[in-house]
Amino acid sequence: MRGMFVVLEGPDGSGKTTQITLLKEYLESMGKECLITREPGGTRIGEAIRRIILDPEYTEMSDVTEMLLYAAARAQLVHDKIGPAIEEGKIVISDRFVDSSLVYQGIARGLGIDTVDRINAPGIGRYRPDLVFFIDIPEEEGIARKMQQKKLDRLEQQSIDFHHMVSMGYRQVLTDRPDVIRIDGCRPIGEIQEEIRKHFTF
């Protein structure tokens, strides 16, 4: 039996990682087998690409290079982990997927949604998400949370205008799509988790 593919999307610091950890605990307590993956990364090759993409030293990286590196890391993740786990009937929960590229590279970098979608299509194949939770928070709030948590990576160090484009981009890409559930991310962690869990009925 085919498994399920769930993705959490939202700006940096919106609480995706926090919610995924809680969701995994819940699903496993219900006897479900889960696989958690993160983007970019999640495979040996993907983690190597992640180090290049996020390293603040690489200030010269072109927007097109950035788009291709994200797509390459994703292709390897689908090939090594996501595809096989779905075929084995597991619930795959991914911290970001192709919608992040549509928003960050397609809109915030200005490469265009169609271009980014076409570049990613061969790597994704038929493994499109069944459910996308969009955790919506103001960009300033997300970056403030990240600054408290760790040193900012190359993407997080972009200007506030860039992060503003990301927020607008998310609303553009994820509005009016039947697979997307928008969640207000400014509420307490437990309340958000409760809302997410309501969408899993076994």
Q: Contact positions toward ligand TYD, by CB under 6 A? A: 12, 16-17, 38-40, 54, 70, 96, 100-101, 104-105, 153, 155-156
Distance between CA atoms of 136 and 142, rounded to whole angstroms? 10
- 158 in contact with ligand ADP (CB under 6 A): no
CB 156 within 8 A of CB 146: yes
- CA distances, 92 to each of 112, 130, 164, 190 (Å): 28, 10, 29, 22
Burial zone of 121 (CB within 10 Å; 0-12 exposed, 13-18 middle, 19+ buried): exposed
- 15 in contact with ligand ADP (CB under 6 A): yes
CB 54 within 8 A of CB 155: yes
Cβ closest to ligand ADP, residue 12 vs residue 39 = 12
Cβ closest to ligand TYD, residue 2 vs residue 21 = 21
- 192 in contact with ligand ADP (CB under 6 A): yes
Cβ closest to ligand ADP, residue 160 vs residue 189 = 189
**Applying CB under 6 A, which residues contact ligand ADP?**
10, 12-18, 145, 149, 188-189, 192
